[in-house]
Amino acid sequence: MSNDKRLRLALFGSGRIGQVHARNIAAHPDIDLVLIADPFIDGARRLAESTGARAVQDPEEVFADTSLDGVIIGSPTSTHVDLISRSVAHGLAVLCEKPIDLDIDTVLSCREQIKDSTVPIMLGFNRRFDPSFAAVRTRVEAGEIGKLEQLTITSRDPEPAPRDYIAGSGGIFRDMTIHDLDMARSFVPHIVEVSAVASNVFSKDIAELNDFDSAVVTLRGRDGELITITNSRHCAFGYDQRLEAFGPQGMLSAGNVTPTTVRKSGAAGTEESDAYLPFFLERYPQAYYAELEAFARSIRTGAPTSPNFADGVSALVLANAAAESAVTGKTVSVVEF
């Protein structure tokens, strides 16, 4: 494909994550958002009006448009496999939000169905594109701290999602930790063991749904690397997103982000700063835009996507292993797919 040609994309889903994607596409100088498909047409229409797209209810209208180059899937998880399969069958590049599905057999069946396709398929693990996290990974890969020995990932939401969302989320490991598991794999691709402990320390609603509100996961890489992931569904000081890579020659870390770098020192305390950014929409706008750029580059040049479908499979395998470990109290050996 010519690099001069404007890309034409369609979007499935006009909810919160769909709105992020729609506005990024609309703001991009070389990409047109052509269609927004959602059975809840009123939301699609509102989003279409603000982005210059056309709203449709039936996904068949997307697949009938032969001018499209690709699709972004931001619809509910239960629709992902069907939309991936149909998009690939129509030769459309795919950027799909995580997870591919909550059921690993369904995911593997989808993989078998699309295995012969050459169209780009990308998974929406946007945190790989965060400038700070990406810089740490690049410097680790360059050997700046020597061989990676330990990786520490902290991810705490400011407050739990609504009860209805939690009920259909697949649980903390498949919904929340899965982002951190993919981040871990971006540093240590070959993980062989998973152990997890989880608890209900503050949310009666989450406990009633047989889910956990807090978790700690430990992973062991093939070469002995140790990775610790700490999760909580609440955090009094905002959206807590940190990463630390440790090796024999030093440590690299990426901390939380505040709206400004202003600090106040006074009689009551020192180095007082603004509160951390409230949630993922505010914390990761650069990551979402960089993700879109990477997707567009793959469509134009045929460059391999990263994270790809296989990364989505691996992240779900690890999430399932963490869930099993948390319930059984046993370390789970991981088979790479």
Average pLDDT over residues 195-202: 98
Q: Note the pLDDT of residue 3.
A: 67
pLDDT of residue 337: 53
> Is the predicted pLDDT of residue 199 greater than 60, yes or no?
yes
Q: Which of 321, 160, 133, 89 is nearest to 243 (CA)?
A: 133
- pLDDT band with cut points at 50, 70 and 90 for residue 323: very high
Asked if residue 149 has pLDDT above 70, the reply is yes
Q: Where are the beta strands (DSSP E) in 148-213?
A: 150-156, 191-199
| Average pLDDT along the chain | 96
pLDDT value of residue 281: 85
Report whether 94 contacts 70 (CB < 8 A).
yes
pLDDT for residue 88 is more than 60: yes
Residue 178: is its pLDDT beyond 90? Answer: yes
pLDDT in tens, 90-143: 999 999 999 999 999 999 999 999 999 999 999 999 999 999 999 999 999 999
Nearest to 318 by CA among 209, 191, 205, 232: 191
In tens, the pLDDT along 52-85 reads 999 999 999 999 999 999 999 999 999 999 999 9
Q: With 60 as the cut, is the pLDDT of residue 257 above it?
A: yes
Q: What's the confidence (pLDDT) of residue 277?
A: 87
Residue 1 pLDDT greater than 80, yes or no? no
Taking the CA atoms of 56, 58, 59 and 60 in sequence, report the sign of the dihedral they define.
negative
- The SS3 assignment for 111 reads helix
Closest CA to 72 of 20, 142, 112: 20
Mean predicted confidence (pLDDT) in 226-231 = 98
Residue 336 binned pLDDT confidence (cut-offs 50, 70, 90): low
Q: Is the pLDDT of residue 236 over 60?
A: yes
Higher pLDDT, 275 or 326: 326
Average pLDDT over residues 16-28: 96
Give the residue among 241, 259, 252, 280 at the shortest CA–CA distance from 124. Answer: 280
pTM, 2 dp: 0.95
